Amino acid sequence: MASFASSSMKPYIYSGKSNCPHLLIKHESSLFGETISTEKRISNSGLTVSNVATRPPANTAPSKQESENNRKLVAWTSIRQERWQGELHVQGEIPLWLNGTYLRNGPGLWHIGDYNFRHLFDGYATIVRLHFENGRLVMAHRQLESDAYKAAKKNNKLCYREFSEAPKPDNFLAYIGDLAKLFSGASLTDNANTGVVKLGDGRVVCLTETIKGSIVIDPNTLDTLGKFEYSDNLGGLIHSAHPIVTDTEFLSLLPDLINPGYLVVRMEPGTNERKVMGRVNCRGGPSPGWVHSFPVTEHYVVVPEMPLRYCAQNLLKAEPTPLFKFEWHPRSKAYMHVMCKASGNIVASVEVPLYVTFHFINAYEEKDEEGRVTAIVADCCEHSADTTILQKLTLQNLRSYYGQDVLPDARVGRFRIPMDGSPHGTLEAALDPNEHGRGMDMCSVNPAFLGKKYKYAYACGAKRPCNFPNTLTKIDLVEKKAKNWLDEGSIPSEPLFVPRPGATEEDDGVVISMISDKNGEGYALLLDASTFEEVARAKFPYGLPYGLHGCWVPKT
């Protein structure tokens, strides 16, 4: 087994021992032309394959923005090689009940040759796999082989429209052709770099906001298996990057940019056919609000209508605008709509204070003594109606941090949507934002409490000064308190809660995160979800780029 140096971080240090003989096999991979050698070690101790790098490879051609002063900010640095796999040395003890695979998706390659991408959301997708079995941990990562990535690798240039990037046409006729491809969706990226979900039938799909960017992968090998082709005739170009996925259903929102509104769709396990549950017409204008995510309760789908709205004109532009593909329309106001799952009818539609959110946390139904639903409560990571968070996520801003406190404030925003026909709902902080450093994003909850009244949420908070969320935070929404885990100078990715099998307490389980540390290295981290103290960590052979969202695939 690979043996790596102990972490330099002081809190929660454990020692671990292992004896793992291997057979060595040479392995090579390349990333935009650079060939990198590793050694493949085939274990005879139960874990099938482990690749261990003989040395951390040199980084591929660094961005000009990746200066010597910021080289150690590995969170914002392109992935070092196309793929790697290996067993990691574990400090501490991985619970023996934790058997399965954590998958994390995110943008991991932010340059093509000498051309550097502008925004965090532009990078080509890197899938990271942490496989836990019998107290041991094997890590792997691999580039998702989307058409966008393969075309860039072949032509050494951008070929599809990304979040803030557009291919540079050679002449006016090429520009006209690109516009035609945009209207048909042909030039939109399929770079599925945002999330990864396990469907009820076991298929694993990587997603982004373009419908064509739905790509099936093998969770064991990380092979790209092909496009997830929807078999219905609903059409459209975009959808929510975060569907609601359970063992029994898949729910999503399809924004209608022509006749402003949203289709709410459901897909049964084992099928590729989305069926329309109902439609929500926008009450504001001139286009639908961005629906990166949305919440559900046991009986309702909550459809947010945010004043940060899609902008067709900005989509057509070759250079990014201040809000990229969106525009801020405060005069169009903000709304929350509630649709009955059973009938598809809109049962509430209320105006709420202006808000900006990427991620909803959870929602549930409030009931009176006779069991009648009186209100819907929906919680989100709310950025105080401040759209500057989008600009703060440009790579230039992330890489040029010199200690200033420039992260925009965020809170756990709690919507209360009355179900008695009242025209207005409320939006307030669910707890004092100072509990989590006025930073809040990248959240998860116990999946058994999806759509139900819950107490705990896990997210990334802030220890200021900072320019990005830098703590792992456990939120207690009943006691209105927070516990914060910090590795000074590091960047943690989304904390994912995994419940212990047979657990009866809401926070009985572990929280998994991947950490990019201040030394340019990184490690996998396990926290006890109840105490929020470290139980294990495993150092990576080299630091990994920041990732976005993940899922848990239990061993079957």
Question: Which letter does DSSP use for residue 69 in this model?
Answer: G
Q: What single-letter amino acid sits at 130?
A: L
Tokens coding 375? 């209100």
Say if residue 436 carries a ligand binding annotation: no
Distance CA 123, CA 107 (A): 4
Q: Which of 433, 408, 316 is nearest to 356 (CA)?
A: 408
Say if residue 22 carries a ligand binding annotation: no
Q: What single-letter amino acid sits at 430?
A: A
Q: Which of 524, 504, 505 is nearest to 513 (CA)?
A: 524
45-81 burial code (b ≥16 CB/10 A, e <16)? eebebbbbbeebbebbbbbebbeeebebbbbbbbbbb
Q: Which of 472, 463, 455, 547 is nearest to 508 (CA)?
A: 455
Distance CA 78, CA 193 (A): 14
For 128, the 3-state DSSP assignment is strand
Q: Which of 57, 170, 152 is nearest to 110 (CA)?
A: 152
Count of alpha carbons within 13 angstroms of residue 384, beta-carbon side: 11
* DSSP H or E stretch at residue 411: strand 411-418
Question: Which letter does DSSP use for residue 549 in this model?
Answer: E
525-556 burial code (b ≥16 CB/10 A, e <16)? bbbbbbebebbbbbbbbbbbbbbbbbbbbeee
Say if residue 242 carries a ligand binding annotation: yes
Distance CA 108, CA 106 (A): 6
| C-beta separation of 157 from 184 below 8 A | no
Say if residue 359 carries a ligand binding annotation: yes
Distance CA 128, CA 103 (A): 6
- Give binding residues for Fe cation as ranges: 242, 292, 359, 549
- Give binding residues as ranges: 242, 292, 359, 549
